[in-house]
Every structure is written in C-alpha cells, then in structure tokens.
Structure 1
Amino acid sequence: MGITDGNKKVMDRQVYIADQVIFREGKPGSAAYVVQEGRVEIYKTINGDEEVVLGSIEAGGLFGELALVDNQPRMASARACERTVLIAINRQTFEKKMAASDRFIKAILRILLNNYRTVVRRAARAEAKLKEHGIELDD
C-alpha cells in the first residue's frame, strides 16, 4: 500500500513485527521513515557485537534521513520494538524536494548532519567504554 503522485508511488507503507530489523548500520540508505504506529529503536554495534541503544522513535517521528541528506552509509541500525507501521519516503522523492530548496540551507544542513554523525559515533564509543567498567547511563 503506498501513497502516489499521479501514477508514481512516492511513499510506501510498510509493516514490521517486533524485533524485525528495518535497516542495518553501514548499508546504503534508500529511504527515510515516518513512524505511523508503534516504536522503533535506533542502535549502534560496537566492538563487533555489543549494541548501544541511541534512542527510540515514537509515532509521528522521523528516522533514516541522514543517509538521504549526505548520501553516506547508515550510521546506525533500526528495528521495530513492537508491531510498527512506517511510511517510507524514497530517495527520488527526497532529492526532488531537496533540489527545490535553497543552496545555502542545503549546505548548512549537510554540515550539521556531518557534525551530528561525529557526535553520535563518539557518544556510542564512550557509552561502550563506560559499560566495560560497569557504568550504565540513565535514559
């Protein structure tokens, strides 16, 4: 089931079951997602097998947009915490909207997202180090 613009599908409705992976860290990103129902957990894998939860996205929230903006691989993985319905916004639709945006704003957005990626990588590594020493961070 999708949302169309004329004869062309621009957004796709997707349903995930609890614990189903939506996308994996390091893979190319072809869509951003809006949570219509349910909840999604965003996490990074550190040291090959340790998961660090970065946060969760509730109904109405957006995730996966970084890979569309800066065309870099996914910086984290995402999985459904429960039955979850997502609206996927494909790359072509996103790029069409971005092309119509002001160049200055696009440049600022790319810089901000690059800074954000750096901070998240450092925070995930720091949290993993704290866990190694038995220190858990509060949510």
Structure 2
Amino acid sequence: MLINIKDRLDEPAIQELLACSVFPDPDRVMETIETYRREPERELYGHESEGEIIGLIGFRLENGGTLTIDHLAVRPDCRGAGFGRGLLLETLELKEPREMVAETDEDAVDFYRSTGFIVVSLGENYPGAERFRCIYRAEE
C-alpha cells in the first residue's frame, strides 16, 4: 500500500532510496530533497513492508492529467520482486492520470518497457549516455 512519505524526507532510509534514483552525489540528493520540500505540487509516496520503506515514487500531476515520474526506486535487496511495478500500478489507481511519463537511462528502460510503457530514444542528452522517454497511456 502506498503511503505519503513527503514529511519523512529527513529519514536516512528515504534519503538512501532517493540516492538510488538520482546521480549518487550527496549534494544532488540534498538538492532533490529540498525540491520536494519547496514545491508543493511534487508528491512522494512509499511502499512500506514490515515497518520499512522498501520503494518510493516521486511525481508531479499536471492539469492535463499527465503524471510525470521524477523518481522511482526500490531498495536493492528487494528488486526483481515486483515492487517497482506495484508502485506504478498503485499510483495509477490512486491518482487516475490520463498518462504517466518518465525519462530514464539504459539501466531502467527495460523495466518501463516490460511494464507496458512505450519507449522513445531521446538520443545522448549527456555525452555517452542515451536517455529515453517512457509513456504509459491509461485505459479509459
């Protein structure tokens, strides 16, 4: 079950999960945390199991019904068990967006593709690193 964790940004476990979804630089992680604090339209939810947050999803829901995923992470020891897919499905159910979009790299593109997202290459936005736009259109 998804729970709102935006008020738990100071917890080390939340910060470690956010670090999994951004360039692992302590300054970048703190910048991401401050963005969630400063911008009320950004939401952050987690999946709790046995009292521990094992995955999180951070997003913005825009007026046109587009949910933009900014961060999606599952604890490394829990990956491959369907928690990432569960975060996406529960977010779809909770927010009922028209579509979900995410930008990602080669490491995560197969996850989005296997979850039903349409994947489009954006080319090398950073030297030597191809980026992808992933789009999931919700059924009516």
User: TM-score band (shorter)?
Assistant: under 0.3
Which of 1 and 2 has greater Rg? 1
TM-score (normalised: structure 2): 0.25
Quick one: higher RCO (CA 8 Å, sep 6+), 1 or 2?
A: 1
TM-score (normalised: structure 1): 0.25
Give the structure with the higher percent helix. Answer: 2
